[in-house]
Structure 1
Amino acid sequence: MSFGKLYTYPKAPRSTMTLYIATLNNLDIEIVPALPGKIYPEHGDVSEEYYSKFHTGKVPALETADGFCVYESIAVSWFLAKQNPNTTLLGSNLKEETTVLRWASFMNYELLPPIMAWIVPIIGRGPSSPEILAQCEKNCELTIRAVEKEITGKKFLVGGCLTMADLFVVSGLARGYQFVFTKAWAAKHPIVHEYYMRIRSDPIFMKVAGEIVIRDGPGGTYPDYDGTF
């Protein structure tokens, strides 16, 4: 029996971890394209029916077979992880659970926004100049240093195994690698790069997010939806 429907668009940075968790837990989920107008203005927007279920019109969004609807990446990921009563993705005690949530929130509100702000001028959706790009890169450094400080000497951000914290942070970093985290950038951030490559090389990550590409220089097309999943 189908578990439900997960609405997203290709390589959506706040959806990657939900796809990972659904795959890890062997959930029978239908992946349904949802193209928010802010991301895909040429396609219009999501439907009024979508807005009636998921009021912000964003992704990821989950509708279970019994009609339960939930949106926001942390909530969707937490709900999917909880489908396995023995999951280790959420931490092994209250302190670890709290730290996992901190990292998930950190990715959404501290890590991804400056990465996207750097991407915007690269893809031609905002003004660009050497000064603007230099400032964008500088703005990313504070959050990258935060990851570096906490992962140094460890394999995982929380506890001794992979958790939702790693899934969120690596999903956010993946957006950077897609456009602006080049080979030169990786060489300047060896600790974060090693961590990213190790987690991102996980077979499930490769399945849901595709092959790893490290760019020679900044660039890329956005969005990259061709009408199919």
Structure 2
Amino acid sequence: MAFGTLYGVKNNVRTTGVLAVAKEIGLDLNFVSVDLANPTAEHLKANKLGKIPTFVGEDGFALSECIAILVYFTAQSNNTSLSGKTKQDYASILKWLSFANSEIIPSLAGWYRPLRGAIPYDKKSVDDSAKATLKAVEIMEDQLTDHPFLVGETLSLADLFTAGVLSRGFQFLFDKKFRAENPHITRWFETVTSQPSYSAVTDKVELLNTPAPANVDPKRA
């Protein structure tokens, strides 16, 4: 019997990490791909905002917000190291989850989405988003200089979720020059995304081989 149902979108930056964690600890999920513009009645019953990811257990327990879902999933296993080995590890993992969700996702989206024509273009907004993203990347690069993973010596929730968050960056923005200047986060991203639990739930990101797009209106490029 499935543990529950996850409403999400394949390759979505928040959905990917949740699916990878479930796969890593062996939770069987029914995955329902949703149309965010037209959420179903069942989806809205579980999450009135109609956002993703949203989880509904077989017992009817409904949970939204990606970090809460990640924590709940790992609590189902007594044999996982995804939550760290110590209380300090666990707190640090939560810190990185929050950092990725609140600092990286908005700024990264504000950088690449206008350049791809997904949202209206504004040069200053793109500049500001790029600077904020690169500052967050710098913080991660510093952390990963002397550590194989974000917390401790083994894979954690923080790695699986944050790799999904950064996937759009490596897909659309982080070119060869960026990767040469940020070797540790690049090594980490390739390590995490090659994990079987991660690669099983999302499409492989082909690293950007062309130079990163310039900050110009895509309609005039």
Q: Secondary structure at the match of 2:14?
A: coil
Q: Does 1:157 align with 2:146?
A: no
Q: Does 1:94 align with 2:87?
A: yes
- Distance, in Å, in 1 between the alignment partners of 2:29 and 2:8 is 12
Q: Does 1:144 align with 2:137?
A: yes
- Distance, in Å, in 2 between the alignment partners of 1:70 and 1:13 is 18
Determine the structure 1 residue equivalent to 2:2. 2
* Structure 1 vs Structure 2 CA RMSD: 1.7
- Distance, in Å, in 1 between the alignment partners of 2:110 and 2:161 is 18
Q: Label 1:49 to 1:95 Cα distance change in 2 as closer, same or farther (>3 A).
A: same
Determine the structure 2 residue equivalent to 1:16. 16
Determine the structure 1 residue equivalent to 2:217. none
TM-score under structure 1 length normalisation:
0.85
Aligned with residue 85 of structure 1, among 78, 90, 102: 78
Q: Does 1:126 align with 2:127?
A: no
Runs of 4+ in 1 over 4 A off after TM superposition: 131-135
User: 1:79-138, CA deviations, whole angstroms, 9 ceiling, x for partnerless residues?
Assistant: 111111122111112111111101100000011111100012112122155x66544322
Instruction: Give the total of aligned pairs.
Output: 211
Q: Does 1:58 align with 2:58?
A: no
User: 1:172-196, CA deviations, whole angstroms, 9 ceiling, x for partnerless residues?
Assistant: 1112122222233222221211111
Structure 2 residue runs without a partner (length 5+): 214-221
* Aligned counterparts, 1:1-229, within 5 A: 1-37=1-37, 45-124=38-117, 125-127=119-121, 129=123, 133-217=126-210, 218=212
TM-score under structure 2 length normalisation:
0.88
Q: Secondary structure at the match of 1:86?
A: coil
Q: Secondary structure at the match of 1:70?
A: strand
- Distance, in Å, in 1 between the alignment partners of 2:189 and 2:25 is 22
Structure 1 residue runs without a partner (length 5+): 38-44, 220-229
- Distance, in Å, in 1 between the alignment partners of 2:205 and 2:113 is 21
Q: Secondary structure at the match of 2:13?
A: coil
Contact kept, 8 Å, 1:8 with 1:15, in 2: the verdict is yes
- Distance, in Å, in 1 between the alignment partners of 2:3 and 2:103 is 32
User: 1:48-73, CA deviations, whole angstroms, 9 ceiling, x for partnerless residues?
Assistant: 44222112211111111111110111
Contact kept, 8 Å, 1:17 with 1:171, in 2: the verdict is yes
Deviates more, 1:150-159 or 1:181-190: 181-190
Q: Percent identity?
A: 29
Contact kept, 8 Å, 1:89 with 1:164, in 2: the verdict is yes
